[in-house]
Structure 1
Amino acid sequence: MCKKVISLLLIPFLIFYVQPISAAEKEEKGWQDESIYFIMVDRFNNGEPKNDFNVDPENLKEYNGGDLEGIIKRLDYIQKMGFTAIWLTPVIDNEQGGYHGYWTNDYFKVEEHFGSMKDMKRLVKEAHKRDMKVLLDFVGNHTGYKHPWLKDPAKMDWFHENVPILGEDQTSVENGWLAGLPDLNVENPDVKKFLIDNAKWWIKQTDVDGFRLDAVKHVPKAFWNDFSKEVKAFKKDFFLIGEVYHNDPTYIAEYEATGIDAFLNFPYQREITTAFSKPNVSAERLFNQWKRDERFYQNPYLLGTYLDNHDLKRFTRVAKENKQHPPTRLRLALTYLFTSPGIPIMYYGTEIALDGGEDPDNRRLMDFKTDEDFLKYISKLGELRNDLPALRRGTFEMLYDENGMSVFKRVYKDEVIITAINNTDKTQTVELTHEQLEGNKELRGLLQDDLVRDDNGYKLVIDREQANVYALAEKSGLNIGFIGSIAAVIILFITFLLLAKRRGTKRAS
């Protein structure tokens, strides 16, 4: 009797609580669906003190102690923020002082300060267990300043003549020595073969998912064309994202013809910093950057969008120079970053508003003591992007923009998402019309609790320096079925108690 009653009690909950979630059709995941956490290996986390050779945490021009083991120990931390991939600065063996990884010494060895190839393999394996991808930085333009090849008579033609880069002349950009680093002559078939074979070796050894290609514009397009073709044939779905350091999207987009899949969006970084590092600034220029990207790139959704990187002054520093509170500014900027088109890339430390000026000050040691509310905010943004296809694949339309108050719409299939960012010093009210949004529905706040019903339009009220993300949904009301089920549960429970009491009374008599 008891078991039967309990079964009856469970029925309403099974009916009304275990309902299928209405979501977009399951689609094959692509790189436009990823979000990347960018790590400078030496500056992130010291997981194995045994490899701390001549480490000096007080000197930003020396090794500070971060390693591969430290990253492995923090993978859950990274994933909890919603990131689905990590990008590592070069892990390859570097000459003395090359803590950053860009002064290659031995092409077939992991930097001893970071660990071993065994550690590198384990890192990739642990990331893949969590369904996270791994990108390695690949340097094809130059070697370290004191590379052994420079003293090898048989390899004299492996380098271009030692002359500095002069202006924007493309031949000089490709053949000159960047920051005095020995420039590899990739037109030499032996050099080209060596670099491509080395790239394949790292893929085979580590099973990484892609490369971030360093200094792309300093290497002829013909090399990248062959490199892309061979590397992609070596591993299916291998991803290449290139660093073409330039503020003209037409210049960057020219490299798409080489087979490189995506590029870091330098113009976007400039505009998002301008728009959100202080209040009362319009986001129109930033939005217009997207319209340009749509025109110039085959797939602008693959562009890597970001606030910070290891070569630029951190966003926190810019906000401070503008006499602003960095976490407030970062909340708004990160809201735009995670809800606008592109692959969001967050540089380690942004989640703690890490300060930093020019290189190497922008490469300070990570500190995991963070503001929990700020971290939760970032994690919520990551969760929304992962859960809502419209934030990864949807169209992008500006509905309102005035003096820093902006409202954007993303649409993908039947999903409509609204992002409202109040980058002003006053509470703002924005009314969206039925021409902009379908009527007789409601906007449900996803980032902050809010519910906006259609009243001949939708009235959004956003507090100063705050943001929200809304989903357009059917109007909610009293759920008669649900209320009825609760009533039924109560009646059944009372009936069960009465029957149990009566049965106990009979037994006692």
Structure 2
Amino acid sequence: MIFRSVSSFLLSALSVSALSADEWKKQSVYQVMTDRFARTDGSTTASCDLSTYCGGTWQGLINKLDYIQGMGFTAIWISPVVHQISAPGNVDGDSYHGYWAKDFNSLNSNFGTSEDLLRLSTALHSRGMVWKPVLMFGLFTNHMAYPGCRKCVDYSTLTPFNSASYFHSPCSIDYSNTTSVQQCWQGDDNVSLPDLRTENQNVRDFFDPWIAQLVTTYKIDGLRIDSAKHQETSFWPTFGGNATVYMVGEVYEGNPDEFLPFLDVFPGLLNYPVWYWLQRAFQSTSATMTELNTGLANMRSKTTKTVYLGSFSENHDQPRMPAWSSQSSDTALIKNAIAFVMLMDGIPIIYQGQEQKLSGANVPANREAIWLTGYNTQSELYQWVAQINKLRNAIIGINSAYTSSQAMSWTPDRHTIALQKGPSGYSTQPNNCYISAEKRLTPVKQGTSSGTTTACPIPTSVAVTFTEKVTTSYGQTIKIVGNIDALGNWDINRAVTLSASQYSSSNPIWTITINLLAGDSIQYKFINVASSGTVAWEADPNHSYTVPSSCGTTTAAVSNTWQS
């Protein structure tokens, strides 16, 4: 059982108090995919079939806490812990990632026992780190899982929701309709993800005490909530009140106007808008910082809560940076992207393997076994992450208000972005840096910025969401390439990768949100890139589009179907 009895010794050893959102701001997070981080036997040679379980455990993680602490991290985010479906040989792979729940009342025995999980919490909390060490659980309440088609789910196999009455009827998601997003099913007919009726009081009556007990039993300090926008927002205040810990929601959305309202119900969010801009800014040494700078200013003008967002450049759902383009494997470029993520507004998150320059592109290639790197603490990026964490921690130690100050950004030239972060009115200088796509990271002492606004400003950029409807096979990726820098200037090595997060067999769509200059006239095409690297272009003619430039327009959408 997930809440089995534990000794009074363990409970007393785990006596910790929850951190507030303000206390979380100074943390630096290392994201662990439990199955791929460390084995109990300590092997650094055990093979790993990326489609199934590879043997990573909670005990293995305990054994490698020194490796994480050596980089200066003070928080660890682990995979969801609940019991999973078994789907070996499935086209979509097995449940090693932890997001395909079968039983919310039991733990995933592939990762270890309840005692192992308690020992992990104890071991982490007892460490002498720069700040109070904290543990974050990956978690979801939106769905369960079944290794088969949507219409053939055997609900009796699911616990505790063992009846179809607990779930919405199967339907494909229409991402332009909020109700559809919240009530239709993710997944596909290989592994279906029955969507829970979380608006139903019977469902809430399970989750509210469940999360309170989970947090108390394992002394969890924070929660990363998967698929946060796929539930009605009224679910989260009571759930969060029972959790009593910091929650960061995954809202997979590049448009700040659609993204930021979720901060009304979550203490923090994963900063996907900045991730999109950052990916394009750092994909090559010739890329420009204009879109990133404009986007940061746009976010800053709309909210003061950017300091609570989780900043990242890689995670288990997205291609690793070396796979972004033909130039993005440049180590200096990667170091600058990491520095930007760790020094910008918010709570920095580094995904396991970034420090070893792992290069996997799409799922499951981006979920490599870390033990095969030998946990090299002398690698250039391991040492770089450690240095940036040390710098950030030192700044916070000197002036704790650093974490509450929103960074000001500007572009000294089109390839360089400058950050000034520090409260005004203090006798100490603000903490600034230049971060460049041209392989420069240059500290500076001062920087200023100013600006004005009007009641209805003409936008300088517009967040354009491109949707391409095309059926693809496992391992294929859809990209967009066009005649402007943001679309790669027709260079397929700089093409922008679309996301398949909304893809289903009944609605095969790929999407991407890109900030484009208002008024620009663009031409573009979509390409299909196979796992072998073979590129297939859609047929002529080029798509044409003019970015809106009307007063107050900050978002737009374009839908296309693959031209054969």
* Aligned-partner Cα distance in 2 for 1:155–1:47: 37
Counterpart selection for 2:60 from 61, 70, 83: 70
Q: CA deviation at 1:298?
A: 4.6
Distance 1:424 1:200, change over 3 A: same
* Aligned-partner Cα distance in 2 for 1:286–1:256: 21
* Aligned-partner Cα distance in 2 for 1:423–1:246: 25
Equivalence for 1:278: 284
Corresponding letter in the other structure for 1:343: I
Equivalence for 1:348: 352
Q: Secondary structure at the match of 2:220?
A: coil
Does the CA-based 8 Å contact 2:283-2:327 persist in structure 1? no
Q: CA deviation at 1:57?
A: 3.8
Q: CA deviation at 1:406?
A: 3.2
Does the CA-based 8 Å contact 1:48-1:69 persist in structure 2? no
Deviations 1:465-500 (CA, angstroms, capped at 9, x unpaired): xxxxxxxxxxxxxxxxxxxxxxxxxxxxxxxxxxxx
Equivalence for 2:77: 87
Counterpart selection for 2:40 from 47, 56, 69: 47
Structure 2: gaps (5+ residues): 1-19, 87-93, 148-152, 450-564
Does the CA-based 8 Å contact 1:406-1:420 persist in structure 2? yes
Equivalence for 1:385: 392
Alignment of 1:105 onto 2:105:
no
* Aligned-partner Cα distance in 2 for 1:144–1:424: 45
Deviations 1:267-310 (CA, angstroms, capped at 9, x unpaired): 11111111112113332322332222223335210101100011
Corresponding letter in the other structure for 1:379: A
Deviations 1:83-137 (CA, angstroms, capped at 9, x unpaired): 1101111121111121110011221222111101111111111111123111101
* Aligned-partner Cα distance in 1 for 2:172–2:71: 42
Percentage of matched positions with identical amino acids: 26
Q: Secondary structure at the match of 1:345?
A: strand
* Aligned-partner Cα distance in 2 for 1:150–1:431: 62
Q: Secondary structure at the match of 1:418?
A: strand
Q: Using structure 2 for the length normalisation, give the TM-score.
A: 0.66
Does the CA-based 8 Å contact 1:410-1:417 persist in structure 2? yes
* Aligned-partner Cα distance in 1 for 2:104–2:59: 21
Distance 1:403 1:137, change over 3 A: same
Corresponding letter in the other structure for 1:377: W
Counterpart selection for 1:310 from 294, 313, 316: 316
1:89-168 matches, cutoff 5 A: 89-96=79-86, 97-130=94-127, 131-145=132-146, 149-150=155-156, 155-168=163-176
* Aligned-partner Cα distance in 2 for 1:102–1:154: 18
* Aligned-partner Cα distance in 2 for 1:29–1:172: 34
Q: Secondary structure at the match of 1:101?
A: coil
Q: Secondary structure at the match of 1:61?
A: coil
Return the structure number with greater helix share.
Answer: 1
Deviations 1:199-230 (CA, angstroms, capped at 9, x unpaired): 11211210110111110111111111321233
Corresponding letter in the other structure for 2:60: G
Alignment of 1:417 onto 2:431:
yes
Alignment of 1:181 onto 2:188:
no
* Aligned-partner Cα distance in 1 for 2:377–2:42: 23
Alignment of 1:190 onto 2:202:
yes
Corresponding letter in the other structure for 2:435: I
1:25-64 matches, cutoff 5 A: 30-48=23-41, 57-64=47-54
Does the CA-based 8 Å contact 1:43-1:365 persist in structure 2? yes
Equivalence for 2:376: 369
* Aligned-partner Cα distance in 2 for 1:128–1:85: 10
* Aligned-partner Cα distance in 1 for 2:241–2:441: 51
Distance 1:431 1:125, change over 3 A: closer
Does the CA-based 8 Å contact 2:27-2:347 persist in structure 1? yes
* Aligned-partner Cα distance in 1 for 2:319–2:447: 43
Distance 1:327 1:220, change over 3 A: same
Deviations 1:149-194 (CA, angstroms, capped at 9, x unpaired): 4468973210110112123211111111101311111122111111
* Aligned-partner Cα distance in 1 for 2:443–2:331: 25
1:222-261 matches, cutoff 5 A: 222-232=234-244, 238-258=245-265, 260-261=266-267
Does the CA-based 8 Å contact 1:42-1:65 persist in structure 2? yes
* Aligned-partner Cα distance in 1 for 2:293–2:250: 22
Q: Using structure 1 for the length normalisation, give the TM-score.
A: 0.72
Distance 1:430 1:59, change over 3 A: closer
335-344 or 152-161, which deviates more? 152-161
Structure 1: gaps (5+ residues): 1-26, 51-55, 233-237, 437-509
Q: CA deviation at 1:313?
A: 0.9
Does the CA-based 8 Å contact 2:344-2:407 persist in structure 1? yes
- Cα RMSD, aligned residues only: 2.7
* Aligned-partner Cα distance in 1 for 2:406–2:221: 27
Counterpart selection for 1:290 from 288, 296, 302: 296
Q: Secondary structure at the match of 1:363?
A: coil
Does the CA-based 8 Å contact 1:109-1:117 persist in structure 2? no
Q: CA deviation at 1:400?
A: 4.4
Q: Secondary structure at the match of 2:366?
A: helix
* Aligned-partner Cα distance in 1 for 2:447–2:212: 54
Does the CA-based 8 Å contact 1:124-1:207 persist in structure 2? yes
Does the CA-based 8 Å contact 2:432-2:443 persist in structure 1? no
Deviations 1:367-411 (CA, angstroms, capped at 9, x unpaired): 223653332221010001111036533342235421313333222
Alignment of 1:401 onto 2:412:
yes
Does the CA-based 8 Å contact 2:31-2:350 persist in structure 1? yes
Corresponding letter in the other structure for 2:163: K
Distance 1:434 1:274, change over 3 A: closer
Does the CA-based 8 Å contact 1:352-1:371 persist in structure 2? no
Distance 1:34 1:431, change over 3 A: closer
Equivalence for 1:499: none
Does the CA-based 8 Å contact 2:406-2:422 persist in structure 1? yes
Query: How many pairs are equivalent?
Result: 396
Answer with 1 or 2: which has the greater Rg.
1
Q: CA deviation at 1:58?
A: 3.7
* Aligned-partner Cα distance in 1 for 2:414–2:139: 42
Distance 1:49 1:190, change over 3 A: farther
